[in-house]
Structure 1
Amino acid sequence: MKLTLTDVGRTFGPKVALEGVSLTADAGQFLCVVGASGSGKSTLLSIVAGLVPPTTGTVTLAGAPVTGPGPERGLVCQSGAVYPWRTVERNIAFGLELLGLSRAERKARVDWYLAETGLELFRHALPKQLSGGQRQRVAIARALACEPEVLLLDEPFGALDVQTKEDMQVFLRDVWRDTGTTVLMVTHDVEEAVFLGQRVIVLSSDPGRVAADVLVDLPADRDLTVKRTTEFLRTRAEVEDLVRTYHRRHAGTTPSR
């Protein structure tokens, strides 16, 4: 299913958060969106999730307009928002219960995602017994268990320490490879965006517009050692310069040469 945004804009009173945003994600692609504060990254994701309607423009998935939340789009936020009164396996099963799947179907999917996310030994644990990284794994597993066409991630690792964040980046790429789900991820971390994404979308600030669409020319199978390669460092620097340039243009200063 192709995800398409056409001339999307969003205002909040006199504030223009997004203006004229057009982009396309083909089925199975991993796109990361970066930009300085005020670029409307989270607003963009909320529009694609159907939580906020666009003021102008359209969002379509496989040609059908997005008019509200739906099971074909799974959303994971920075907090993870797992249910504290449910065990790990019951958190993962939550959406499946809403979809009306049989007990056998729910069990099969929950078992698969417990194994895929390395949470088999924690199936009966409550979220308070888990680390921050483990809780995010639960949130991602819960979203993917409904088998959405698109996984939407809003700064999912922003609250984690550096070591846990890198572990989760590797985990996410492995899950994406195994499931083939289209991923649209918002992050303020350029290094993370280049490591995870096939493309990095750079938004300008106030209002948010697509300033650049950078193709990440790195191997499909990546581990953390790729971060030390010349191509990775070149691409990270390119994206960082773009973010800085378009933020400075908004601020009314001249980019350094």
Structure 2
Amino acid sequence: MTAGLRIESLTKEFVPGRPVLDGVDVAVGPGEFVCVVGASGSGKSTLLSLIAGLTRPTSGRVLLDGHEVLGPGPDRGLVFQTASLYPWRTVARNVAFGLEALGVPRAVRQERVAWLLDEVGLGHLAGALPGRLSGGQQQRVSIARALACAPRVLLLDEPFGALDVQTKEDMQVFIRQVWQDVATDPAGDAPVTAPLTSPAGPERRSTVVMVTHDVEEAVFLGRRVLVLSSDPGRISQDIDIDLPEPRTLEIKRSPAFLEIKAAVEDLVRAEHRAHQARLAS
């Protein structure tokens, strides 16, 4: 079963008395795709770091299937804006890195990596070094690496922010397809030990939390969009995105999509104006 994620009264201070996040409460159901938007400095990336267990909250807690997150773990995969691949390891060995660390047998690793690279369209580059790859290809490797250990939660920190428009849209379609098709470990407590060739139902999809500055991207990808206020970061809006599935790029031109996008943009602008007013007062 995939993860239920709950964030309770979460506050994070890097400087005492100046919270970056303050009293954040949100629940993300198993297999949901949730996007987080907000101005720079609203604590979006800090929120992901707290879910990943890379930093500890000042108060409050993050729960994954009822268990408090106390540090990093293979049940959560994280993809950053830059690919952060090991330049001396081949594409296949980059994807296999987490499986190696977990002691997964070599034959199982090879089968899992080959399947994932086929899923992301890079099977023909398994033996290449990252320096030979385009930016979009490197991000595909990063996503495959994050999926290799069959995480119950996939965390995406503006993974397409540095890409050109065409590559970015290609990657948006790609990550949506991966979310639809790649199942997590059916037992929920260990890496998948063999490729899964059947589509992933909602009960076996990774739960995805993605941070982005791009409202259009958030509306296209997310089943929900969370809007963070700034200084301190709080969830000011939690919006259900009611659009047909599966989503294709053509939906971005539909009246329903444009209406939702405009509404979310208005909310983000309103939060920005409120933040500026607080700074001026």
Aligning the two structures, in what range does the TM-score lie when normalised by the shorter sequence?
over 0.9
> For residue 145 of structure 1, what is the aligned residue in structure 2?
148
> For residue 76 of structure 1, what is the aligned residue in structure 2?
79
Identity %: 62
- Structure 2 counterpart SS, 1:136: helix
> For residue 32 of structure 2, what is the aligned residue in structure 1?
29
The code of the aligned residue for 2:132 comes to Q
> For residue 244 of structure 2, what is the aligned residue in structure 1?
219
In the aligned structure 1, how far is the partner of 2:275 from the partner of 2:162? Answer: 28
Match of 1:190 among 206, 215, 228: 215
Give per-residue Cα distances to partners, 1:188-230, cap 9 Å, x unaligned: 0000000000000000011000000010001120110000001
> For residue 160 of structure 1, what is the aligned residue in structure 2?
163
In the aligned structure 2, how far is the partner of 1:127 from the partner of 1:116? Answer: 18
- Structure 1 counterpart SS, 2:246: coil
Q: 83-92 vs 11-20, which deviates more?
A: 11-20
Check if 1:125 corresponds to 2:150. no
The code of the aligned residue for 2:9 comes to D
The code of the aligned residue for 2:227 comes to V
Aligned-residue CA RMSD in angstroms? 0.9
Give per-residue Cα distances to partners, 1:164-199, cap 9 Å, x unaligned: 000000000000001211100000000000000000
> For residue 249 of structure 1, what is the aligned residue in structure 2?
274
The code of the aligned residue for 1:126 comes to L
Match of 1:208 among 216, 233, 247: 233
Superposition deviation, residue 37 in structure 1:
1.3
Consecutive aligned runs of 4 or more in structure 1 exceeding 4 Å deviation: none
In the aligned structure 1, how far is the partner of 2:18 from the partner of 2:167? Answer: 36
The code of the aligned residue for 2:87 comes to P
> For residue 2 of structure 1, what is the aligned residue in structure 2?
4
The code of the aligned residue for 1:188 comes to H
Give per-residue Cα distances to partners, 1:90-117, cap 9 Å, x unaligned: 1110000011111111011101101110
The code of the aligned residue for 1:39 comes to S
- Structure 2 counterpart SS, 1:68: coil
In the aligned structure 2, how far is the partner of 1:22 from the partner of 1:80? Answer: 30
- Structure 1 counterpart SS, 2:244: coil
In the aligned structure 1, how far is the partner of 2:111 from the partner of 2:132? Answer: 24
Superposition deviation, residue 15 in structure 1:
2.7
In the aligned structure 1, how far is the partner of 2:46 from the partner of 2:101? Answer: 26
> For residue 63 of structure 1, what is the aligned residue in structure 2?
66
Give per-residue Cα distances to partners, 1:2-41, cap 9 Å, x unaligned: 0000110111114310001111111110000000112100
Match of 1:53 among 48, 51, 56: 56
In the aligned structure 1, how far is the partner of 2:266 from the partner of 2:35? Answer: 16
> For residue 194 of structure 2, what is the aligned residue in structure 1?
none
Aligned residues: 253
In the aligned structure 2, how far is the partner of 1:27 from the partner of 1:144? Answer: 16
In the aligned structure 1, how far is the partner of 2:72 from the partner of 2:181? Answer: 25
What TM-score, normalized to structure 2?
A: 0.89
In the aligned structure 1, how far is the partner of 2:160 from the partner of 2:40? Answer: 17
> For residue 105 of structure 1, what is the aligned residue in structure 2?
108
The code of the aligned residue for 1:161 comes to D
In the aligned structure 2, how far is the partner of 1:137 from the partner of 1:15? Answer: 37
- Structure 2 counterpart SS, 1:252: helix
- Structure 2 counterpart SS, 1:46: helix
In the aligned structure 2, how far is the partner of 1:20 from the partner of 1:247? Answer: 19
